[in-house]
Amino acid sequence: MIIRKKFKFEGAHIVRNCSTKRCKTSIHGHSYEVEVFFTSNKLDNGYMVLDFGLTKKHIKNIIDSFDHAYSLWSQETDEFKNFFKTNSLRWIEMPVSPSAEIYSLMFLKFIDHILKNTSFFNGEGDVKVSSVRVHETKTGYAEAFRDDMDSIELDIKKVVFSDEVVNEWKNKNELLKILSM
């Protein structure tokens, strides 16, 4: 059985080295929709794969981190990076350029890590994230599956959230502990 929970964020970026000129040369934003798909080998005591409510804790925090935020590629120049870090409170620095493909793979990895390091107490089975679909526009999305997990090097421990982003996390200390595992 598979369930899906939808999240959204309003984010800004540049995707360097892509083919589309506007996309690679100018800061622009999207109203992203993120669909997260979960599977399990059994249903919990409420006959659910995973109560949707439980996804609104740490998983929602991670995706919402990118809301009203600039996704900053770590290979930008120091001048460019410093500009964002000194003039905008909400930013995320990431080791790979923020295409829709990368958002979907990165969220898949974060959610997989969170699920592996979270205990559930209502008879849940082996709950796994099976894929993450990131709609960048009304017409285009990317979807990352578990088989894609090692397709490119993307270490989530190298993703840096600005202080403002972290300080807005609900259950901040719990999530920081999970991310440090």
Which residues are known to be catalytic? 23, 68, 136
Q: What's the number of CA atoms in the CB half-sphere (13 Å) around residue 173?
A: 0
* Shortest spacing between CB 88 and ligand LPXRUNBV, in angstroms: 19
Which residues make beta-bridge pairs with 72?
93
Please state the φ and ψ torsions of residue 24, each to the nearest 5 degrees: -95, -10
101 lies in the binding site for ligand LPXRUNBV (CB under 6 A): yes
99 lies in the binding site for ligand LPXRUNBV (CB under 6 A): yes
Which are the contacts of 143, defined by CB distance < 8 A and separation ≥ 6? 104, 131, 132, 133, 134
66 lies in the binding site for ligand LPXRUNBV (CB under 6 A): no
100 lies in the binding site for ligand LPXRUNBV (CB under 6 A): yes
23 lies in the binding site for ligand LPXRUNBV (CB under 6 A): yes
Q: Please give the Cα distance from 74 to 121 (Å, whole number).
A: 39
Q: Using CB under 6 A as the criterion, which residues of the chain lie in contact with ligand LPXRUNBV when the complex forms?
A: 15, 18, 20, 23, 28, 99-101, 136-137, 139-140, 142
